[in-house]
Amino acid sequence: MDVEPNPAPPATGARGRSDAARNTEAVLLSARAVFADRGASATIPEIAQRAGVGNATVYRAFGSKSGLLAAVGQDLLSWVSQRIAEAMADATQHGAAAWPAFLEDLFERLRTDRMTLSLLCGELIPGLGTAEVEVRAAMGALVSRMREVGALRPDVNVDDVTILVTGCATGLDHARQQDPAQWRRFADHVQRALAPSTPSRGTTPAPSG
């Protein structure tokens, strides 16, 4: 457990505020990288060292490790929300083809970011409750839309998608599999597992004989 040290008194004046802003941005960038690599188990000293600042600077900017996790987690959930919104728009334009493209992007993100994987697995981070609920609702809406355009079977729900995606991604991560082609392969497995057994809406069956 990280123990908060006694922070040094902050600098004052315009220069002090400018330095503090730069340090805060450096800490946030460092935290994104370290949490992506190590997940939520990463420590404040690791993040501070990468950012080139002292531990006290991290605590001064974010209050605690939980505060830093929440700041990074909010950014990551914003990415997921944005990608869901793009997939919804793509479904209007491209129909069922939007779904495998979304899955491939999501798997690639999970390949390189253990923190996003932890969030999608339901790891609780204080301060992110509302954002996590909103992302789950958005994912549910996307699943419904993909059913409508024929990318998913009528019985598929958001839990089916979440469990399959995070289960495959967790297995690949535990196996230390970093080959992008293998992650794309499993994205394709998930897509095929949930796809309708009949041709997607708007397609013409191949002639027999």
Nearest-angstrom CA–CA distance, 79 and 67? 19
In tens digits, the chain (209 residues) has pLDDT values of 454 455 555 555 555 567 788 999 999 999 999 999 998 889 999 999 999 999 999 999 999 999 999 999 999 999 999 999 999 999 999 999 999 999 999 999 999 999 999 999 987 687 888 888 999 999 999 999 999 999 999 999 999 999 999 999 999 999 999 999 999 999 999 999 999 985 544 444 444 43
Residue 114 is predicted with a pLDDT of 95
Residue 17 is predicted with a pLDDT of 64
Full-model pTM? 0.81
DSSP string, 52-66: TS-HHHHHHHHSSHH
Nearest-angstrom CA–CA distance, 161 and 138? 13
Residue with tokens 């204080």: 126
Residue 81, CA atoms < 13 Å, CB-side half-sphere: 14
Q: At what angle do helices 158-174 and 180-194 cross, to 10 degrees?
A: 150
Please, which residues have CB within 8 angstroms of residue 203's CB and are 6 or more apart in sequence?
A: 150
